[in-house]
């Protein structure tokens, strides 16, 4: 099994202007990385319409909905780093967008690991400003 997060799945210094652009970009990383088929990205966008995927401390974790699981080829996460932040919910900026493609069984483990990392605001601030993909991979691919 390959690693959940690799260099090709990390995009540094993104200049996206909207949360929809951010979700699209995070999804396209998963597509380009061979983790999902293109329709999964539409599911990520649809999911955001029903419920915000912002989890606090400047982090959002967009992911598909149950019907979109069929588009997952291999579990993976993508990371879109937005140093300037992008408006997510009213008055809330997001600096790290972590796209998730995982089966139901793997999903919980990935969320628990991400929760531990993003729980610390200093860690999020560091990851949102670093210019090294390896810093992000080391922090998130535990």
Q: Given 19, 35, 47, 63, which residue is catalytic?
A: 63
The gap between the terminal CA atoms of the chain, to the nearest Å, is 14
**Residue 63 catalytic?**
yes
110 within 8 A of 102, measured Cβ to Cβ: yes
Task: Delimit the domains of the chain by residue range.
Answer: 7-137
pLDDT in tens, the chain (142 residues): 468 999 999 999 999 999 999 999 999 999 999 999 999 999 999 999 999 999 999 999 999 999 999 999 999 999 999 999 999 999 999 999 999 999 878 888 888 888 888 888 999 999 999 999 999 999 987 5
CATH code 3.40.50.720 for 7-137: no
pTM: 0.94
């Amino acid at each position: 099994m390959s690693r959940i997060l690799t260099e090709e799945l990390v995009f540094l210094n993104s200049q996206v202007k909207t949360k929809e652009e951010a979700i699209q970009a995070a999804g396209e990383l998963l597509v380009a990385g061979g983790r999902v088929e293109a329709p999964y990205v539409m599911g990520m966008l649809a999911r955001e319409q029903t419920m915000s995927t912002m989890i606090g401390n400047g982090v959002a974790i967009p992911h598909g909905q149950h019907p979109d699981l069929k588009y997952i080829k291999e579990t993976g996460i993508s990371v879109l780093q937005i140093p300037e932040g992008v408006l997510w919910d009213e008055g809330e900026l997001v600096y790290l967008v972590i796209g998730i493609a995982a089966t139901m069984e793997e999903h919980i483990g990935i969320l628990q690991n991400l929760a531990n990392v993003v729980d610390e605001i200093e860690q999020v601030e560091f990851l949102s400003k670093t210019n090294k993909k390896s810093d992000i991979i080391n922090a998130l691919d535990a």
